[in-house]
Structure 1
Amino acid sequence: MGIGSWLGLWFGLSIPAILAMYLLKRKFLDTTVPSHLLWQRVIKNLEANRPWQKLQNRLLLWLQLLAAALLVFALMKPYGSAADIGKAHVVLVADTSGSMSARSGSAQGQPGEEKLAMMKRMIKDYLEHEAKDGEITLLGMNAEPNLLISREKDRSRALQAVDSLEPYFGRAAYDETLSLASALTRDETDAEVVVFTDGQWRGEPDSVPFGVPVKVMNVEAEAGFNLALRQFGVKNGAEGKTAVAVVGQSGGAAKEANVNLYGDGKLLQTENAMLAPGGTATLTFREVPEAEVYRAEVEEADDYAADNEAYAFSERNETARILLLTRGNLFLEKALQLTGAEVVKMTLPGKEGEESAPGGAGRTAVPGNPPDLVVIDGTAPSFTAQDDWKKLMERTPVWTVGGGESKIDVGGAQPKLESHPVNQYASYNGVYIGSLLNRKLPDWASPIVSIGTHPAVIAGTENGQPRLSFLFDLQDTDFPLSAEFPIVVHEAVSWLTGSGGQNLGRHTAGSRVEIPVAADAVSARWVAKDGLAKTLQVPEIQADANEKGINALQQLPPVPGLYVFEQRNREGQMTEYYAEASADPFEGKQGTPNAKLAAIGQTADGKDAAAGKAAEVAADNSRGERRQAPLMTLLACLALLVILAEWGVYQRGRSI
């Protein structure tokens, strides 16, 4: 109980005023008059009555005093303490990143409980006690913010949405989800944001502005212990194949780690190492037998299972063969040779646009040993679109550089790069490109380097084979003089020749990868083959497609493990590509909370995080925050009832 305003006491002056009215009230006596002749005497007595007299016990007096006292108390704005039933709109942010799949307590030999299950109970408890009547919005975290429900009033549907939360093992959108929560509560006065997390948070959460109160509810779990395969690969050497695995741990005590090496599902070797607290160790497996898929597995159980396995694929033993069609480009030829490939140069006589065949008139023979890559420097000769040459170009990766078409002046502006394997180590800083080919982009092409609105480098897949085009002549730029040029050539050759293999390599779960989709493929799907994906029985996932067919850019499944991308044609023939989906390494860093996360637990009026944390603790102890419940309305209603009772007494026509 408290008082909101002591200024209401001024109305207390009405109480002595009421008393004064009764003190000054004229007193009339009941008088028996035997004759009307005595009226004159009675009137004289009435005129002589005294104004000041002793107060008498009258019901009307007490009712008027009670009404005045209630009005005075109401004007003082009294309030009581009541359980807070929550805001009108509550935005719940659920941390569904991969670290929430970690278990608590397994370090003591117990199976442990997932932090995600603990968080679900916390959210349900919050819905029951702190957000009883408000509208509920629930956000999860995938590669992008995941809006599960919006302004939902039905509690059963809200609970179903909470039960549907699943961990996302890829790179989760942490701060992006907070930004969405901030946008959803912008311009609202009766809303709040509640973040449920284990504290392991990537990014700068304190940089997201909020206009409403924010709470951070931490899942109280024991410090996690994690053994992780940080790196794994298999390479060819003079003495055969060698596998290398890097294993690390996040615990606070020394730990022995055993790593098993499998080849096509068969156990090949086991190595062990003693790991210092928070340390890593490199294990080498020598004389590894030939296999298509290798798997390294941590033998010991830990709290986080998503990074206990890693996969590697056999390297191609043969050297890539590149067929270079050029009228003379020493820089390009030397850069291709630096990749380690075998370069076969076919010199084209004449100038750009001439149709002469190499070696004089007549038909040019197709190479007897088909190349792994065809590089065309300048305008493609006409014979490449005829007969056997056309078939060779359709089934072989092709890289074109420049050409003799009309050009667009771009004035040497700075190129803009998109995410692509060819651009992995490129920046194009200081590179001058004066003009670009004015060419209509083919259906398979996507710009990976642009200057302004004009594409400068395009890449894609056609007929199941990778394609790359530089839409500028190397002779018209200083790019060959840049230190980046041989690096870009190496990455381009690696991407063009590597995409034709039978594996897609290792990628973060949920990321997008480019896949060589055959032109005659009518269906494709992801199938879980091994690892956590198989343990959790991840169902088959159909490939992304549009009206033109199956997309070359596909999204990996979100659960770590070994997958096969299967594609079939109308005849039922199937082509398979292996790919490993790996967990985001950040999620394996157990017990590393983000100190900046607590900074967002502040209200819009500037209360600091410490005050918010103290309020959170008090709320946990009392099973819900307490709020001020105003009593003014109740007291005013009571005063009105008293006045109505007073009016009833007055209607009797007699002063009691």
Structure 2
Amino acid sequence: MSFSGWGYVWTAVMPLAVLLYYFFRKKYKDQHVASTMFWQELMKEIKASPYLKKLQHHILLYLQLAALLICVFALLGPHLTSEALEGNEFIFVVDTSATMLAGEPAAFELQQELMKEMATQTGGKPVTIVTTGANPEIVLRKEPNREALETAIDRLAVTYENAKIEQTILFAETLIDDESTVIHVFTDALDRSILANKAGMAYEIHGIDQPLQNVSMRQFGLAKTEDGIRAIVQLVNETAEPVSGKVILTDGEVEKTANIQLEAEEELLVPFEQLPDSPVWQAVLQVKDDYTADNSMAAFVQEASTRVAVDSSLHELVGAGFRSLNVEVDLMDPMQLRKAGGSPLVTNQTDLLAGQMPILLIGRNDEKTHRVAGAIETVPHALFTYAPFDGIYISEIYPPFEEYETIATIDGEPLIQLSPEGDIAVLTDIQLTDWPLHPSFPLFLWSAIGELSGTDNFFGFFQPNEQRAVALASTRGEWEIYKDGEFFYSYIEGQGAFSAPQEPGIYEVVGEGKTLKMIVQLSNEEKTLVQGTSYRIGQAEETAETAELSIVPWLLFAVVFLLLVEWEVYRRGNAHR
């Protein structure tokens, strides 16, 4: 224990002065004595120990002196000293990825306890807490209060998304205002190479060095066959020992089970044949390991295509528009289009509409155009959710298809139509418009490819907390997210990108009288465990070696308690008079 207010040591004379005053003050009271003989005996006893007699019957004096002594002690500024963290300011980077759930207790819980322990060693210096992810979040900014820090640490939770820890560290570096700031990274494992070029800055990595056993489900796919649905599950044993267990497939009604045996560090493909024709299946791995978050996956029978076949006779901006969306484009000769695979086809050949391939028709090769003028009007449809046609100039259009549904018009004439089979027909050529100059052009292509390759009851695959533009259209503009019948949140169209739930699983997106399935699952990066280590890089400047924890608040609490006791003693004394 140390003291910072030795200049107030002179106040110690005050309790002594009170005590002396109490001893030597004169106080008279009536004393009834039965006889002179008893009077003499009483006087002898008082003279033998006059001061002790006074003290024996005055508990109030004891309490007052104790309170006064504590106040004098508090004026000296007593405080406890402990080893302080290196640095004058701290940034806690907290890994909230799914792998932090591994272990028993979980790595995330261990790091929370470590953070709270370190919060007591900051000595009142400011602490900033940042969580990892695609969009790092500042939980607290330069907070010196230990209680506030502990409360914020207790509220932290795993978000399941990929940590992107290198990106988060770069973000944390932008928050540094002091050269003596130290960045503490709380994670399961972090490669030293990420910090190799971080010169002139101080980092301390807190990893989890305990070995963990893990068997992960890496892939789960479904495919339609003549005999029903075929499923394949890929398992990886990351441990150095053989493990056994079983894989369970279910669609909510039917359940299929396969026993498995994996050797050390073995990869295994587990097939399932002749499954019932259900659109969504879930695979669950039952095995004894230290990480359960990667032991389940869900799959949908028909996945959206990321590949498109484009007629080479179309304007080159069509292919460029798809490439800007990271869609693989196969430019094909018009004569070879019938040999294209099952991916959507973009062409102007109307005779291909009779085939089985989904088609985006841009223009017509069997008709001639005629001039039009006017504004474009659209009906509510998913194609136009993120691709408005405002301000687009179109000079000529083709005649419409009589049996098709019209969803966009110009000057009262059909411009975009839908076939009964779901094909999309744009009744103009790209070179007859200024459409490619507008941002809505690639957005329309993206919506069209999703419409052609998707299904009417599947919303898509997402990673935890993934934000993405989605093509939804409704008159109300509101969609509700459910899981196992429990409501999670609502998504309002037009109010930013859609944000997926953070916990993996199968969800329902409900709106406009229909229900769409949505699957949220971990990225492959979150299915591999790495044993970590703790280490330091760099050294902070101008740092204190110890942290001081004042005990004055506890002393003041003791004074208040003594005053309450004194009041109770005084009250009881008056009650017996």
Q: Same fold (TM over 0.5)?
A: yes
Q: Show the 5 A alignment for 1:379-394.
A: 381-384=397-400, 389-391=405-407, 393=417
Question: Alignment identity in percent?
Answer: 15
Deviation per residue, 1:193-223 (Å, 9 max, x gap)? 212222156x952156354422222235x31
AA paired with 1:519? Answer: S
Task: Tell me the equivalent position of 1:266.
Answer: 253
What is the alpha-carbon root mean square deviation over aligned residues?
3.9
| Aligned counterparts of 2:90 and 2:332: Cα–Cα separation in 1 | 66
Question: Relative to structure 1, is the Cα distance of residues 379 and 101 closer, same or farther in structure 2, using a 3 angstrom cutoff?
Answer: farther
Correspondence 1:242 to 2:230: yes
Task: Tell me the equivalent position of 1:189.
Answer: 179
Deviation per residue, 1:273-330 (Å, 9 max, x gap)? 21121211111111112223211111224221211111122349xxxxx9x9x99998
2:100–2:188 contact (8 Å) kept in structure 1: yes
| Aligned counterparts of 2:301 and 2:490: Cα–Cα separation in 1 | 27
AA paired with 2:203? Answer: V
Task: Tell me the equivalent position of 1:147.
Answer: 138
SS, match of residue 113 in structure 1? coil
1:379–1:402 contact (8 Å) kept in structure 2: no
| Aligned counterparts of 1:578 and 1:502: Cα–Cα separation in 2 | 6
| Aligned counterparts of 2:115 and 2:240: Cα–Cα separation in 1 | 31
Task: Tell me the equivalent position of 1:96.
Answer: 96
Q: Which has the higher contact order (CA 8 A, sep 6+)?
A: 2
Structure 1 residue corresponding to 2:430, chosen from 397, 403, 407: 403
Task: Tell me the equivalent position of 1:581.
Answer: 520
Question: Relative to structure 1, is the Cα distance of residues 302 and 327 closer, same or farther in structure 2, using a 3 angstrom cutoff?
Answer: closer
2:86–2:545 contact (8 Å) kept in structure 1: no
Query: How many residues were matched structurally?
Result: 399
1:239–1:287 contact (8 Å) kept in structure 2: yes
AA paired with 2:424? Answer: V
SS, match of residue 167 in structure 1? coil
Structure 2: which 5+ runs fail to align? 1-80, 304-308, 316-330, 345-350, 355-360, 373-393, 408-415, 549-577
1:257–1:272 contact (8 Å) kept in structure 2: yes
| Aligned counterparts of 2:114 and 2:529: Cα–Cα separation in 1 | 21
Following superposition, the deviation at residue 506 of structure 1 comes to 3.1
1:175–1:204 contact (8 Å) kept in structure 2: no
Correspondence 1:224 to 2:212: yes
| Aligned counterparts of 2:405 and 2:83: Cα–Cα separation in 1 | 81
Task: Tell me the equivalent position of 2:279.
Answer: 292
TM-score, normalised via structure 2 length = 0.60
TM-score, normalised via structure 1 length = 0.54
Task: Tell me the equivalent position of 2:203.
Answer: 214
1:327–1:349 contact (8 Å) kept in structure 2: no
Question: Relative to structure 1, is the Cα distance of residues 238 and 350 closer, same or farther in structure 2, using a 3 angstrom cutoff?
Answer: closer
| Aligned counterparts of 2:160 and 2:395: Cα–Cα separation in 1 | 46
| Aligned counterparts of 2:332 and 2:195: Cα–Cα separation in 1 | 54
| Aligned counterparts of 2:84 and 2:258: Cα–Cα separation in 1 | 59
| Aligned counterparts of 1:199 and 1:165: Cα–Cα separation in 2 | 19
- Which one is further off, 584-593 or 89-98? 584-593
Task: Tell me the equivalent position of 2:107.
Answer: 115
Following superposition, the deviation at residue 333 of structure 1 comes to 6.4
| Aligned counterparts of 2:396 and 2:215: Cα–Cα separation in 1 | 54
Deviation per residue, 1:490-540 (Å, 9 max, x gap)? xx4xx342234311343322223454312324311222239xxxxxx8x60
Following superposition, the deviation at residue 176 of structure 1 comes to 1.3
Q: Show the 5 A alignment for 1:32-431.
A: 83-84=83-84, 87-103=87-103, 112-129=104-121, 131-186=122-177, 188-200=178-190, 204-207=193-196, 209=198, 211-220=200-209, 222-263=210-251, 265-315=252-302, 331-332=333-334, 334-335=336-337, 337-340=339-342, 343-344=352-353, 348-349=365-366, 353=370, 381-384=397-400, 389-391=405-407, 393=417, 396=422, 398=424, 400=426, 402-405=429-432
Question: Relative to structure 1, is the Cα distance of residues 447 and 389 closer, same or farther in structure 2, using a 3 angstrom cutoff?
Answer: closer
2:297–2:521 contact (8 Å) kept in structure 1: yes
| Aligned counterparts of 1:277 and 1:154: Cα–Cα separation in 2 | 49
Question: Relative to structure 1, is the Cα distance of residues 148 and 331 closer, same or farther in structure 2, using a 3 angstrom cutoff?
Answer: same
AA paired with 1:580? Answer: I
AA paired with 1:276? Answer: E
Question: Relative to structure 1, is the Cα distance of residues 262 and 85 closer, same or farther in structure 2, using a 3 angstrom cutoff?
Answer: closer
| Aligned counterparts of 1:526 and 1:178: Cα–Cα separation in 2 | 33
SS, match of residue 130 in structure 2? strand
SS, match of residue 344 in structure 1? helix
Question: Relative to structure 1, is the Cα distance of residues 628 and 519 closer, same or farther in structure 2, using a 3 angstrom cutoff?
Answer: closer
Task: Tell me the equivalent position of 1:372.
Answer: none
Question: Relative to structure 1, is the Cα distance of residues 447 and 217 closer, same or farther in structure 2, using a 3 angstrom cutoff?
Answer: same
Task: Tell me the equivalent position of 1:4.
Answer: none
Following superposition, the deviation at residue 247 of structure 1 comes to 1.4
AA paired with 2:538? Answer: Q
Task: Tell me the equivalent position of 1:540.
Answer: 488
Look at both structures and tell me which one has the larger radius of gyration over its CA atoms. Answer: 1
2:223–2:229 contact (8 Å) kept in structure 1: yes
